[in-house]
Structure 1
């Protein structure tokens, strides 16, 4: 269902969008960073590397010994910690992690497409839109929670989105949204780049592109971090992509390596922000993915409507207001459509009230009512 159906209805909804808000009460969160690592399976997140894929025939791995030394351990808890050490040390102890199906935690998409544009729309707008059925570069008619927040005085000029994928500016609707958006192999969205940003622009222009639509994650991380340091946004979306690209390429070694790199980027961002007065003990991180993938020796590479299991994904939360419940087990199902409202609720805003067909905020992630 699109957000707007007619100009009159749109005007009425816009009034609601701008007016709706929740009493922040005792919320400590003043800033939120939403991070995605595209197509990273829940299997790797919760059980680490799969032995059956660390080989040439099924995983495209030529440096088997090196990958096994880095990522293989006998116990799944040890494997996942080797792959995502910061994630499991920090989110696993001080935050909440959803999606381990083997332990009764279901985290799923609600759209039926099981690929990226529908997934990012669901994450950012809070609902599945059946009209979005391709990854075509078409401006999204749906408002995202990022744009909804940006249109509020408290967040105007304090929202930004950086993604490795060149379709993201269309998903967020850069022409309409009014805040900086970077997507794919394009210069950073600063009209007066500093020395580091200019170097990044040169590298982006001069580097041979392994994938024309997807900038290298390391460039994306540096661009996002520099925007954070220069402009100090209150709400930021950062979308990494190599975990999906290497999955499609059938390179399990590079998939593991890129997932491990994202974990390091998350750690550096968290530590950087905790060293800054604006962000220290006032910032929540949300990490998730746009879709799952299949299982087995072949379908780990794939996702889409026909791939069983690609509807299963994961999400994690870390911040001063989220109870430290760690890895959730035997809990209620959560959905991708709930991320937008949860993000807003952590900032004291009621997105679900403004957009009733969005998913409700995940109550367990919010402070316990007294």
Structure 2
């Protein structure tokens, strides 16, 4: 009798009804974004219009051996071996517009801050989020909602290459620790890797004022994952967009390939650790698209017609292994936040957020 009374009391505590009703296996989420990576490279590999153009390639022909093949399916496998070798067989990829499988921004700005706000909060806010200025986000992101919950408090982390992320995530209000831009790893218990990355980041500044090179972001994130063991992590890699703005197609391609390798490293570690293995869903997307010509590919924004064309993918215990999605339909980055909550067995608290991507949750 005492056991029955005890169970009744426990189940009446806040949140326990939610746990009792949970049917998904996902306990952890890792959301990753590429800044400004086009769907064209993801689904077709290196672009024939640019791959051997001396105006975009520092060393003519330098991409051909590693990234060129006449078959676009071969090219995409050469560029993204993890995506097309693992996620295409065990997860899902959305956004190949040749099949009418369309993924777009809901916002009409088609640049970074509005794109990241949409992914993280679940809706576009063109009236208030219409620049890349360092202004604290008035919207609550899914990271903040989770960090407010007892079961996730202190177990949500974010890492980004762009120094605006502390404002996008509203680090001060949300309480979510954000290591971004040229932030260093902090604390009295730094690992040897964190000390080394701290030192090297201060010695190698990179070519951009507000964006660090992605290796620093990646290795800070990997150490954060191993040391702090968060339940929810957000990682934003930024190089692809900055190399594209600079018109460096070779650097754009090399960075995209390297990021595929970074994501493979994350997934391999997750699947090797008992706390995360078969309990973690990985979602990957981008903040905006970009143009399709030798000139417009460097740009995005409302003046570039393809600037809102994006993509997304997922792999995890609740996502059916459907591979490349070839069904006609329309999806938006605004759907990511509510889908993440669905994977965790919860309803998203903001009614403005996009609908769940039903095919992504078994």
1:24 & 1:238 partners in 2: Cα distance?
30
Using a 3 Å threshold, how does the CA distance of structure 1 residues 20 and 140 change in structure 2: closer, same or farther?
farther
The yes-or-no answer on 1:154 pairing with 2:151 is yes
> What TM-score results when the alignment is normalised by the length of structure 1?
0.91
> C-alpha deviations, 1:194-234, integer Å up to 9, x for none?
22212211112222331111111011100000000000001
The yes-or-no answer on 1:88 pairing with 2:84 is yes
Contact 1:22 1:350 in 2 (8 A): no
> C-alpha deviations, 1:150-171, integer Å up to 9, x for none?
1111111110000000001100
The yes-or-no answer on 1:104 pairing with 2:117 is no
Which residue in 1 is equivalent to 2:60?
64
- RMSD, aligned CA: 1.7
User: What's the CA shift for 1:55?
Assistant: 2.9
Q: State the 4+ residue runs in structure 1 displaced beyond 6 angstroms.
A: none
Using a 3 Å threshold, how does the CA distance of structure 1 residues 249 and 20 change in structure 2: closer, same or farther?
farther
Which residue in 2 is equivalent to 1:363?
358
Bigger radius of gyration: 2
Contact 2:35 2:237 in 1 (8 A): yes
Contact 2:205 2:212 in 1 (8 A): no
- State how 1:17-166 maps to structure 2 within 5 Å: 25-58=22-55, 60-130=56-126, 131-166=128-163
Number of corresponding residues: 348
User: What's the CA shift for 1:349?
Assistant: 1.4
- State how 1:1-370 maps to structure 2 within 5 Å: 25-58=22-55, 60-130=56-126, 131-190=128-187, 192-351=189-348, 354-367=349-362
Which secondary structure state, in structure 2, belongs to the residue aligned with residue 300 of structure 1? Answer: helix
User: What's the CA shift for 1:191?
Assistant: 5.1
Using a 3 Å threshold, how does the CA distance of structure 1 residues 54 and 341 change in structure 2: closer, same or farther?
same
Stretch of structure 1 that moved more, 187-196 or 211-220: 187-196
1:224 & 1:210 partners in 2: Cα distance?
21
2:136 & 2:20 partners in 1: Cα distance?
33
Contact 1:181 1:189 in 2 (8 A): no
Contact 2:289 2:300 in 1 (8 A): yes
Q: Which runs of 5 or more structure 2 residues have no equivalent in the other structure?
A: 1-14
> What TM-score results when the alignment is normalised by the length of structure 2?
0.93
> C-alpha deviations, 1:11-67, integer Å up to 9, x for none?
xxxxxxx99968653311110100001000000000000122023445x20323231
Using a 3 Å threshold, how does the CA distance of structure 1 residues 196 and 289 change in structure 2: closer, same or farther?
same
Contact 2:52 2:64 in 1 (8 A): no
User: What's the CA shift for 1:142?
Assistant: 0.7
1:347 & 1:21 partners in 2: Cα distance?
10
Contact 1:39 1:292 in 2 (8 A): yes
1:330 & 1:268 partners in 2: Cα distance?
30
Using a 3 Å threshold, how does the CA distance of structure 1 residues 273 and 152 change in structure 2: closer, same or farther?
same
Which residue in 1 is equivalent to 2:10?
none
Using a 3 Å threshold, how does the CA distance of structure 1 residues 230 and 129 change in structure 2: closer, same or farther?
same
